[in-house]
Amino acid sequence: MQRAAFAVLMLLSAACTTPPARIDSSRLYDPPRQALAVSVDDSLTLAAADGRPVPLRLVYPQGEGTWPLILFSHGMFSSNDMYMPILEHWAASGYVVAAPNHLDAKALWQPKRNDDVEELSASRAADLALIMDSLDRVTAAVPALAGRVRPPPYAAAGHSMGTYIAMLQGGLRTRNPNTKAVIGYPDRRIGFIVMSSDPGKMALMPENLWTGAGVPTFMTTGTKDYGTSGKGRRPADYTMEMLPADAAADGRRFRVLLENGDHYYGGLVHRAPKDVAPDAEGLRIFLTLSTAFLDAFAKEDESALRYLRNVDVAAATARRASLTVE
């Protein structure tokens, strides 16, 4: 399946029923390169260690060149086909995105107790590791990708529950205060993290969870970002403890806050809540700034890093968004 990169922008424009965007395009990140046409491949299914099938969606640029890899973990009970505005934008910007369907995709598996989240976390992290372990076989099966994926470090990305998994792969460690079990699946091949939604808004999780990995980190959240927990945090029997990271990422953690931003960009990803207008503006802010972050670290583009350290996001978005660096 092939499509022009501009289709993503058309989708966002068509979905927006709110007043015209207030973004000053000249002041948001606009790399001096042409957007690439994008291909999508759903032909591959990997096999987990327990024999469970792991369907894989690959979204990648057409044409010559080599591209950094992004591993994308979907939200709980969601699936890899519900995030195409994000995946296609990154691919059009020069990235290969590998997005598996996890154990809980389409609500085929659901936790029955809080500790089941540990089982799901282990399964999801294993899916991302499986993709990295199988990358030679994956690219050989898709001729357009043969020799086109750059070696590590890779980026781990996700939405909602997927943000927690990305962080666990990037060095985050948490501890269950009841069982004292330590949860962490660090992988040296993961060098950067991109999150859409704040993992600290999920039940069981500490509020500052997004700072817990030792690699460069980017997160966009919103003042109405409550995840699948409803308005506010869902009551839980305990809160996970965040253990100190093995490395420091000081000055390389970027947090974007969207005024009135919700968990789903008004239904443009994951699912469409009732009586909520699509938030194409908020999604565009995430896409633009996350791409600047990826360019700065995955592509080692010094101009992108200078942009992130100097941009006045509040001014560029009529104070719809703000950026803090920690």
At residue 17, does pLDDT exceed 50?
Answer: no
- The pLDDT value recorded for residue 283 is 96
Section 154-168 average pLDDT: 96
Query: What distance in Å separates the CA atoms of residue 284 and residue 16, rounded to the nearest whole number?
Result: 11
Percent above pLDDT 70 for the chain: 86
Q: For the domain with range 2-325, which CATH number is right: 3.40.50.720, 3.40.50.1820, 3.10.20.740, 1.10.1420.10?
A: 3.40.50.1820
The listed range with the strongest mean pLDDT (117-121, 154-158, 314-318) is 154-158
Decide if 65 contacts 34 (C-beta within 8 A). Answer: no
Residue 294 one-letter amino acid: L
- The pLDDT value recorded for residue 279 is 96
Confidence of residue 7 (pLDDT cuts 50, 70, 90): very low
8-26: burial string, b at 16+ Cβ within 10 Å, e else: bbebbeebbeeeebebeee
pLDDT digits (tens, 9 = 90+) for 280-313: 999 999 999 999 999 999 999 999 999 999 999 9
Provide the mean pLDDT of the chain: 87
At residue 236, does pLDDT exceed 80?
Answer: no
Both tokens assigned to 101: 């369907």
At residue 277, does pLDDT exceed 70?
Answer: yes
At residue 99, does pLDDT exceed 90?
Answer: yes
Section 117-134 average pLDDT: 92
Instruction: Of 134, 205, 112, give the one whose Cα is nearest residue 165.
Output: 205
Confidence of residue 81 (pLDDT cuts 50, 70, 90): very high
pLDDT digits (tens, 9 = 90+) for 63-79: 889 999 999 999 887 99
Please state, as a whole number, how many other Cβ atoms lie within 10 Å of the Cβ of residue 127.
22
Section 259-277 average pLDDT: 88
At residue 19, does pLDDT exceed 50?
Answer: no
- The pLDDT value recorded for residue 27 is 74
Both tokens assigned to 127: 């899916």
Residue 206 one-letter amino acid: P
Give pTM, 2 decimals: 0.90
pLDDT digits (tens, 9 = 90+) for 176-220: 898 898 999 999 999 999 999 999 988 788 889 999 999 999 999
What residues does each domain of the chain span? 2-325
Strands laid side by side in the 69-73 sheet: 2-3, 38-47, 53-61, 96-100, 69-73, 154-159, 190-196, 217-224, 253-262, 321-325
- The pLDDT value recorded for residue 299 is 97
Query: What distance in Å separates the CA atoms of residue 322 and residue 220, rounded to the nearest whole number?
Result: 10
